[in-house]
Structure 1
Amino acid sequence: MALASVVGSGALQEAIAKTKTKAKKRYLKAKKDRRKKRKPAAVPSGSRTEDATHDQDSEGEDEDDSAAEVTSSPAGSVHAVDAEPESTHRPKKRRKLSPPAEDENPEVKSTASAEDDQIGLSPTTNVARLPSAPVTLPSFPLPSHPDAPSKATLALQGLDKAIIEAELIEPRRRMPIQSTDAGEAALGLSEQTKKRLQELGITELFAVQTAVVPFLLSNTKHRRLYLPYNPSQDVCVSAPTGSGKTLAYVLPIVELLSSRAVTRLRALVVLPTRDLVTQVRETFEAVSKGRGLKIGTATGQHSFAHEQAQLIADRSPQLQGGSSRVDILICTPGRLIDHLTGTPNFSLQHLRFLVIDEADRLLAQSFQDWLAQVLSATRPQVIFSCGSDGASSTLVHEDAPAPDGLAPTFLRLLRGISHDRTDLDETQETSCQKLLFSATLTRDPSKIAALNLRDPRYFVVQGSPGDAAAEEDGVLDLVLEKYSMPDTLSEHMIVCESAQKPLMLFHLVHTLGVKNALVFTKSAESTVRLVKLFEFFKEFRPTEAKIVLRAYSSDLAPSARKDILDKFKNQEIHILVCSDLISRGIDISHVSHVVSYDAPVDMRKYVHRVGRTARAGRDGDAWTLVEEQEARYFKSMLKEANHLNAVKRLRVSELDLAPLISSYESALTKLKEAYSR
């Protein structure tokens, strides 16, 4: 039975093979006939490869078709196919085809062949072919950002042209005070003024003074008190601290106002602090001695009624021209606004000079919008009304008082004016000349525009005049806030841990001999705490030389601050620990060291702090204690100002601090006990 089944199986396989061979022959013959009918007259030489490829593909398709015929037979024959030997299914060998030419796109060719097959055409037919698929678009470079403008270009955007054209002054420039006619013509100073300067020990003018003083005094047309038709140019000065900016405006004001016949408020000096007001008043009094000029101050140190009595001669509300007991007023902005709004007959219409010292700080703080109110008070407030005929006319109150010393610009406010007077129709401007001084003059276009400067002239003590490249670099240094320091100043920094900062200060004082010094802290509380720690430290070192320290801050009463400052000037106090209250403008000749116990947070503060020493050509040292976590920021701040190389780092070893550690720890323990009570 088994043998019969095997024989039957072999016969079945033979029948299937014969059937397959006959079907394939019939298919190939029919295909050959179809191809002869479609064969063109001439076949391109390049199509041989395609034909061969097509033949191979056709043979493969034939085999697939044969297999399809077998598998579509009755279900009973399916098992016979599975039992067929492997030798009958061996694929045929195919010829290796040459690769396509380099200039041909295989993707495009395959796409074209697929389209031909869909419509029943061969690649070798002469029938017009359909357009092939479009090739990929050429790639374009990705968009990139344009090169950013330089920092200098950005800094110059929006600036007044006068700043860019600023006059640079060599810092080492000097001009002797000569008594000859040529010297008087060069400086514009009278013999009486030069004699007074020599009595004060001033034999030459510094760089900023040699530029500003002749500019304000050399033009004889501008030496008058009233200039309604030909006003003077405004002046902006940027110069290092200690370069003599105060004397640069004191000399012209005293020289011009000495010719006055009637006392009017003609010079107004605005300063940020009371201490600066006191210092500037002393300078005015020293230079104007024997000239008869009356100088007043308004800082809020005295009562409001007391200041009114000192400033105003007649408080009757019927004086349009105002009334004044002083020729020169030195004040803080807040108190100035109080007198403008609350003091009768306090008028700025006769003002010849408006001086804004430490201009960057004053312009950055509003003080009840003091600047706008002051500038408005220097100009007449004319009210126009339209008549029935449409023409405009000046509106004057019926109860306006009789004229009383009005300034020329304010004459149109008079009652009962004859409107046929042509002199009142001419354009008249205020005679007030604005003078701005600072070591870090503002470069904010909006703040400069708020000043309403009239054809301003800028003076910058920096760079080397005469060299075009140096002048351009000097102006850019001003715009980019790269400040110049006195040549006689030595700058140092000590990087330490936070807990070691007091110990570093004691090392400077007791080991390096730092005396006649100003020590700046970040707040009034830090000032008091540091002085207490120093007092405790001295208790554990009684054998050392006695060093007197005092705290100076806004927490003290004005009288106490004045007393401490006087003792420090007389060298009864060796070290003055203070906040930034006196970091601007204070001039104490014997200060030889400045210590920033708390590192300044911006470059402007640093400039004003270190400017308390090395003034007027004297030598000085600046020390900055920098905590380790602040070191990177502090260095980057100096680097942006192009000043990092000027500050030398001082390294203090543990061996240098060893003699002080025991006393410091004891003082620190005692300070903790004092604050824990």
Structure 2
Amino acid sequence: MTGAATAEKPKEKTKAKQRYLRRKKERRKNKPKTKTPEDKNLVVGPKELEEESNSEEDKTDAEESPIEPEIGESAKVPERPSKKRRKVAKDVEDVEMEDAEMKTVEDSLDVQLSPQAETNQPTLPSFPLPVHPDAPSKSVLALQGLDQALVGAEIVNPTQSLPIPLDEADGGTGLSKKMRKRLTDLGITDLFAVQTSLLPFLLPDNPLQRALYLPYNPPRDVCVSAPTGSGKTLAYVLPIIEILSSRIVTRLRALIVLPTRDLVAQVRETFEEIGKGRGLKIGTATGQQSFSHEQSQLIADRTTDLKGGSSKVDILICTPGRLIDHLNGTPNFSLQHLRFLVIDEADRLLAQSFQDWLVQVLAAIRSPPTRSLDVNPIGQLPSFPVHDAVAPTFMSLLPYPDIPTFPTERKESSCQKLLFSATLTRDPGKIAALDLRDPKYFVIQGSKGHEADSGILDVVMEKFSMPSTLTERMVVCETSQKPLIFFHLVHAHQVTNALVFTKSTESTTRLVRLFDYFEEARAKTAMAGSVKQMVVRAYSSDLSPGERKSILEKFKAQEIQILVCSDLISRGIDISHVSHVVSYDVPIDMRKYVHRVGRTARAGRAGDAWTLVEEQEARYFKNVLREADHLDKVKKVKIHEKDLAPLTPFYETALGQLKEVYTRT
């Protein structure tokens, strides 16, 4: 019992232990709450700090009150501190040394930054903060990479004109008296700006420069950018007929490449009217007839291998696809005698490959590499193949070598390239692909500023000039109200003799059918004979060539009041009585807009252009016009509900009939 009680009694603390605990408590009470800079620089974990504190306290207590060993125990040798404690102590010493070094550096800085030192030593220079450089202007960026010939283009005022004289003098036109009389008979008394600038360049006074072959002094190529309806077709028809009229033998000397079949037919009519009585033979190749039939119309001899080629026509007007077919598959079809290569609507043709037609045409114009003379066995005469006359540049095709008169002379192709477009391409790569020879650029553009290069900047940045007689308007409407607003324009604003452009052939067919139902509903409710029904027809690629030709002739004869079409005929087609152009669907870019509205206000006549803009398309279309600096030229027209109310019942009836038709189909 006594032993158990003795075992449970807690062990009393020694005096040394009590003294240690008391001092430890006092140190904790007096410990500062914030760390000193020296403590901040010392990065030690909490466990190491506690062990260090305990070791220091134990060491202090041992020094102040040494504990004598009990009887029977031998004096123990103090143990060596553990590895962790030695590491902490070393870190403390390193921190103390760093503090001492920092203090020395601060003292030296105080000496250097003293007033005496500041007066003796100059201050450090201050530099401005880095900033972004100013971005280059749009005009500077637009001219980057362009051909220097394009930058230095000749700017021609679109209002410039030149009367055609009837006396012996040509009046600076370069035209013969016979040609001037023919133009007068056709009612053409003045030349437009593009013609007045281009004809003197293509028809120089020196008769040697009008020759059919110029192998040692080839003519310069020409690029023309002019508004639609400014007379670009006549600008190249006149010099071609004037120069080719001196030919004796029929050769293919002029090649005109156009994007559409309809434009081919129109240009052929112009050539036939202007060149009447000159004896020039004109042919076309568009694919509307069979390939063998076209071969028989173009080539005189398809059985004999003629090095100089064979041709029944002097002038060939074609589309690029059919041209490549004849170039690869028609015997004796040769371009070596070409004097003119005309690429009309150049921006569109260069944007489409058509089996790399441009590369193949340029290769057919260049002279072939020189071939060595075939060596025949002894005693045999050299075999000369049957050949017709070849061009001077293609003499290497003959079986004997072409020895130059002078060692330094070099023959070049006499073909002169003429590029025409209302929206001339601004891509330097496409222009370089044409392999132009010292090109001369003509830009028909009104000056909008005092800068000398403002005209070419307007062309490059797609700021196109429109005819002064053109009035442009746009109507912003809801999508569901767009057909009704179009019908309102037809009846309230007398929009007849009009071309209406849609975005696809499906839209064309649907709009024509809806308009027919609308006119039928309007005619039924009106008094007999009081309403004249409008005649509307579709003109699209779904129709056969014969149907399209018939519809176009009826429209020219004004038997059809409104012609709804896609962008198929938005380029180059010249119909004199078109007084209105309606963009039922917004054009995707400024180029299409220019070509659409260019179908009216041609040759000085007045015309109106309307654009129906859906609400979700308004911002995009305005940005397109704003970038071309043309937004202020297009007037915004508002049409109220009360204006549409009289036509709404007929429109709803037509919509119901159209719904029934499409439901059945």
State the secondary structure of the residue aligned to 1:481.
coil
Deviations 1:302-355 (A, max 9, x none): 000000000000012420000000000000000000000000000000000000
Contact 1:168–1:471 (8 Å) recurs in 2: no
1:96-115 correspondence to structure 2 within 5 Å: none
Q: Which residue of 2 aligns with 1:590?
A: 577
Match of 2:510 in 1: 529
Letter in 2 for 1:309: S
Residues 1:347 and 1:656: Cα distance change in structure 2 (over 3 Å): same
- Deviation per CA, 1:191-216: give whole Å up to 9, x if none: 11011001100001001000111110
Which is worse superposed, 237-246 or 393-402?
393-402
Report how far residue 424 of structure 1 moved. 8.5
2:352 maps to 365
CA contact (8 A) 1:548 1:574 kept: yes
The one-letter code of the counterpart of 2:479 is: S
Q: 1:73 to 1:281 in 2, by over 3 A?
A: same
Alignment match of 1:541 (pick from 502, 511, 522): 522
CA deviation vs aligned residue, 1:431-489 (integer Å, no higher than 9, x gap): 0000000000001100000001001000011124xx99353211110111110000000
Partner SS for 1:186 = coil
How far has the Cα of 1:179 moved from its partner?
1.9
- The answer to whether residue 198 in structure 2 is matched with residue 212 in structure 1 is yes
| Gap regions ≥5 residues in structure 1 | 1-67, 75-113, 385-392
Going from structure 1 to structure 2, the CA distance change for 1:617 and 1:133 (only over 3 Å counts) comes to farther
**CA shift for structure 1 position 513:** 1.1
Q: 1:539/1:349 Cα in 2 relative to 1: closer, same or farther (>3 Å)?
A: same
Change (3 A) 1:276 1:406: same
Contact 2:373–2:401 (Cα < 8 Å) also in 1? no
Range with bigger deviation, 239-248 or 147-156 = 147-156
**Distance (Å, rounded) in 1 between the aligned partners of 2:514 and 2:254:** 46
**Identity in percent:** 67
Corresponding position of 2:294: 307
Return the alpha-carbon distance in structure 2 between the equivalents of residues 444 and 176 of structure 1. 36
Match of 1:409 in 2: 393
Match of 2:548 in 1: 561
- Partners of 1:312 and 1:345 within 8 A in 2: yes
Amino acid across the alignment from 1:628: E
Which residue of structure 2 lines up, in the alignment, with residue 497 of structure 1? 478
Q: Which letter maps to 1:437?
A: F
For 2:199, give the aligned amino acid. V
SS of 1:405's equivalent? coil
Deviation at 1:422? Answer: 3.0
Query: 2:652 aligned with 1:669, yes or no?
Result: no
Structure 2: where are the runs of 5+ without partners? 1-55, 63-94, 114-123, 377-381
Q: Deviations over 1:46-99 (max 9, x none)?
A: xxxxxxxxxxxxxxxxxxxxxx99xx999xxxxxxxxxxxxxxxxxxxxxxxxx
Following superposition, the deviation at residue 621 of structure 1 comes to: 0.1
Deviation string 1:109-135 (CA, Å, 9 cap, x unpaired) is xxxxx9999659999xxx995567999
**RMSD, aligned CA:** 3.1
Tell me by how many angstroms 1:511 deviates.
1.3
2:452 aligned counterpart, secondary structure: helix
Matched to 1:415, the amino acid is P
Deviations for 1:629-663, whole angstroms, at most 9, x for unmatched residues?
A: 00000000000000000000000001100101111
* Partner SS, residue 197 of structure 1: helix
| Candidates 645, 662, 665, aligned match of 1:658 | 645
3-state DSSP class of the match of 1:171?
Answer: coil
Are 2:165 and 2:171, in contact at CA under 8 Å, matched by a contact in 1?
Answer: no
User: Which portions of structure 1, spanning 4 or more consecutive aligned residues, are displaced by more than 6 angstroms?
Assistant: 114-117, 120-123, 132-135, 137-140, 394-400
The amino acid of 2:580's aligned partner reads H
Whole-angstrom CA distance in 2 between matches of 1:510 and 1:273: 33
Q: 2: CA distance between counterparts of 1:413 and 1:425? A: 21
1:467-478 equivalences in 2 (<5 Å): 469-478=450-459
The CA deviation at 1:399 is 6.8
Match in the other structure for 1:198: 184
Distance in 2, Cα, partners of 1:274 & 1:501: 32
Q: Is the 8 A contact 1:246 1:280 kept in 2?
A: yes
- 1:403 CA drift (Å): 3.9
Q: Is the 8 A contact 2:374 2:399 kept in 1?
A: no
Pairing of 1:205-244 with structure 2 (within 5 A): 205-220=191-206, 221-244=208-231
- Of 437, 447, 457, 1:454 maps to 437
Give the C-alpha shift of residue 404 in structure 1.
1.5
CA contact (8 A) 2:253 2:315 kept: yes
- Letter paired with 2:521: F
Rounded Cα–Cα distance in structure 1 between residues aligned with 2:445 and 2:632: 18
Scaled by the length of structure 1, the TM-score of the pair is 0.78
Match of 2:619 in 1: 632
Question: Structure 1: how far apart are the matches of 2:520 and 2:431?
Answer: 54
For residues 474 and 390 of structure 2, the distance between their equivalents in structure 1, rounded to whole angstroms, comes to: 58
2: distance between equivalents of 1:242 and 1:120? 89
- Rounded to whole Å, the distance in 2 between the matches of 1:157 and 1:396 is 54
Letter in 1 for 2:178: Q
CA contact (8 A) 1:382 1:395 kept: no
Give the aligned length. 559
Contact 1:594 1:623 in 2 (8 A): yes
2:356 partner letter: D
Which amino acid letter does the alignment assign opposite residue 369 of structure 1?
D
Instruction: Report the CA distance shift for 1:290/1:424 in structure 2 as closer, same or farther (over 3 A).
Output: farther
TM-score scaled by length of structure 2: 0.79
Matched AA of 2:268: R
Contact map agreement 2:471 2:608 (CA 8 A) in 1: yes
What pairs up with 1:77-96 in 2 under 5 angstroms? none
**Contact 1:412/1:424, CA 8 A, preserved across alignment:** no
Q: What SS does the corresponding residue of 2:625 show, helix, strand or coil?
A: helix
Amino acid at match of 1:539: E
Aligned to 1:187, what secondary structure does the other structure show? coil
Aligned to 2:166: 179
Cα distance, 1:181 vs. partner? 3.6
Equivalent AA in structure 2 for residue 328 of structure 1:
I
1:463 to 436, 439, 446: 446
Q: Could you say which residue in structure 2 is the equivalent of 1:160?
A: 147
Q: Is the 8 A contact 1:402 1:415 kept in 2?
A: no
In structure 2, what is the Cα distance between the partners aligned to 1:629 and 1:523? 19
Checking the alignment, whether the CA contact within 8 Å between 1:463 and 1:470 is kept in structure 2 is no
AA in 2 matched with 1:569? K
In structure 2, how many angstroms separate the alpha carbons of the residues matched to 1:383 and 1:449? 26
1:430 corresponds to which of 404, 410, 413? 413
Q: 1:293 to 1:284 in 2, by over 3 A?
A: same
Aligned pairs for 1:470-489 within 5 A: 470-489=451-470
Q: What amino acid sits opposite 2:508 in the alignment?
A: T
Counterparts of 1:244 and 1:121 in 2: how far apart (Å)?
88
